[in-house]
């Protein structure tokens, strides 16, 4: 049996009746777009976080893009973020006409090195965009302190951190706004695309709602300011409502898999994930590190284990972002990690025998390198 990094079919078997009931609920409601399910999910997702407002959108990239626009980021502004992230983080910055500025990441936690932020701030800097990567929070207190000091806004990228906490507080509740993705692989995943932006500001909430709906506010066909068609789908919203009630169980399942890996791979020369003090990790992906990564990943294929690399190409090295002028060696930790990190299978429904298969195969490969 082929073992992959992610698979939803076992979870669907368990939740099939509820998922199909969600679809039936929407199809029989008489409202297929921007109906009661979207509004209810927005209220429930905001309440789960203790946030004031949630605006559902069509995907996580647009959650970031609209978040940036609603916070006043404009063409010519600079946004400080990281290159060790999924490309959409940076695509969203580029899409609003702003310039991404990168800082390096930590050697041990792979998260934004907050000690480098202040040196990267210029008169054009408008926003700090920390990425809560792989399932745990950046040192967000340091980020928000710098934002206050320099009069900047903070947009949290929470696409990989649903339910993660720092100091007991959920990711997405520290900055001026936070963007979430509900892509199916996420800790809280839809059965298709979806996203949302959280904020505690009524003004930002109003701008977000206008931006996601062509720029219209109270009257259809009347555009206040040009916007987008970025609405969260009604069916996905109803599915997400049902799954939100299981989010704590999803997190517990992921942590159980992570603990099995931690104990099963102890004593090997793999570098296992480190959980920073004060953080509660949700293990969106379980990222390990080894200098002979490529050989390990290739040899595991003979065991029918096919792994993923998150991420093999830092964004600043991609062809589409050459115009930014970042050269090899600019972000040494990020670039070194890109050649050593890889992700083990991680999802709540991953069977224990498959976890043991991964552990056993990895130990075999590592012992014979």
Distances from the Cα of 177 to the Cα of 55, 94, 174, angstroms: 11, 18, 8
Helix, coil or strand: residue 19: helix
Structure confidence by residue, pLDDT tens digits, 244-280: 999 999 999 999 999 999 999 999 999 999 999 999 9
Q: CB under 8 Å to 251, separation ≥6 — which residues?
A: 163, 187, 282
Average pLDDT over residues 161-172: 98
DSSP classification of residue 349: T
Query: Does 8-103+110-244 match 247-367 in CATH topology?
Result: no
Fold of 8-103+110-244: 3.40.640
pLDDT tens, position by position, 103-141 = 999 999 999 999 999 999 999 999 999 999 999 999 999
- pLDDT of res. 207: 96
- Choose which CATH entry (3.40.50.150, 3.90.1150.10, 3.40.50.1580, 3.10.450.40) describes domain 247-367: 3.90.1150.10
Query: pLDDT tens-digit profile of 10-43?
Result: 999 999 999 999 999 999 999 999 999 999 999 9
When the pLDDT of each residue in the chain is averaged and rounded to a whole number, the result is: 96
Banded model confidence at residue 219, pLDDT cuts 50, 70, 90: low
Please name every residue paired with 251 in a beta bridge, in sequence order, or none if there are none: none
* Encoded tokens for 23: 């679809």
Q: For residues 331 and 313, is the Cβ–Cβ distance under 8 A?
A: no
Query: Which stretches of the chain are assigned E, i.e. beta strand?
Result: 3-4, 53-57, 78-82, 99-103, 125-128, 153-157, 165-166, 169-170, 177-181, 195-199, 279-280, 286-289, 305-306, 341-344
Kindly report whether the global pTM for this prediction surpasses the value 0.95. yes
Q: Any idea where the domains of the chain sit in the sequence?
A: 8-103+110-244, 247-367
Residue 183 pLDDT grade (very low, low, confident, very high; cuts 50, 70, 90):
very high
In this structure, are residues 270 and 362 in contact, taking their beta carbons and an 8 Å threshold?
A: yes
User: Which residue carries 């893009």 as its tokens?
Assistant: 65
Q: Look at residue 317 in the predicted model and tell me its pLDDT.
A: 96
Q: Residue 220 above 80 pLDDT?
A: no
218, pLDDT greater than 70: no
Residue 153 burial (CB count, 10 A): 21
Q: What is the pLDDT of residue 221?
A: 74
Residue 189 has pLDDT above 80, yes or no: yes
pLDDT at 2 (0 to 100): 76
In DSSP notation, 89-146 reads HHHHHHHTT-EEEEE-B-TTT-SB-GGGHHHH--TTEEEE--B-GGGS---HHHHHHH
């Amino acid at each position: 049996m082929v073992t992959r990094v992610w698979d939803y079919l076992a979870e669907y078997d368990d939740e099939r009746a509820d998922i199909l009931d969600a679809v039936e609920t929407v199809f029989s409601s008489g409202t297929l777009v921007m109906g009661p399910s979207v509004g209810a999910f927005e209220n429930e997702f905001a309440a789960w976080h203790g946030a004031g407002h949630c605006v559902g959108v069509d995907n996580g990239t647009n959650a970031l893009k609209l978040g940036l626009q609603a916070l006043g980021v404009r063409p010519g502004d600079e946004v400080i973020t990281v290159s060790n992230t999924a490309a959409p983080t940076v695509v969203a910055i580029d899409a609003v006409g702003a310039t991404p500025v990168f800082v390096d990441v930590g050697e041990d936690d792979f998260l934004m090195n907050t000690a480098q932020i202040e040196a990267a701030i210029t008169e054009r800097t408008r926003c700090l965009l920390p990425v809560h990567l792989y399932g745990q929070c950046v040192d967000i207190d340091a980020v928000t302190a710098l934002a206050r000091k320099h009069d900047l806004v903070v947009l949290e990228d929470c696409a990989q951190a649903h339910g993660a906490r720092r100091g007991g507080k959920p990711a997405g509740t520290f900055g001026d706004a936070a963007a979430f993705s509900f892509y199916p692989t996420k800790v809280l995943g839809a059965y298709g695309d979806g996203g949302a932006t959280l904020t505690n500001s009524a003004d930002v909430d109003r701008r977000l709602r206008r931006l996601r709906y062509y720029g219209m506010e109270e009257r259809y066909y009347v555009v206040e300011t040009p916007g987008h068609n970025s609405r969260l789908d009604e069916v996905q919203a109803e599915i997400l409502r049902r799954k939100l009630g299981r989010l704590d169980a999803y997190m517990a399942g992921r942590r159980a898999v992570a603990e099995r890996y931690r104990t099963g791979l102890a004593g090997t020369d793999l570098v296992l994930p480190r959980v920073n003090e004060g953080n509660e990790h949700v293990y969106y992906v379980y990222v390990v590190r080894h200098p002979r990564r490529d050989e390990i990943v290739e040899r595991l294929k003979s065991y029918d284990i096919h792994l993923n690399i998150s991420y093999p190409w830092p964004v600043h090295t991609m062809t589409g972002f050459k115009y930014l002028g970042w050269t090899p060696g600019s972000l040494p930790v990020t670039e070194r990690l890109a050649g050593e990190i890889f992700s083990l299978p991680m999802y709540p429904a991953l069977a224990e025998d498959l976890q043991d298969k991964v552990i056993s195969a990895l130990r075999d490969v590592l012992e014979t390198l």
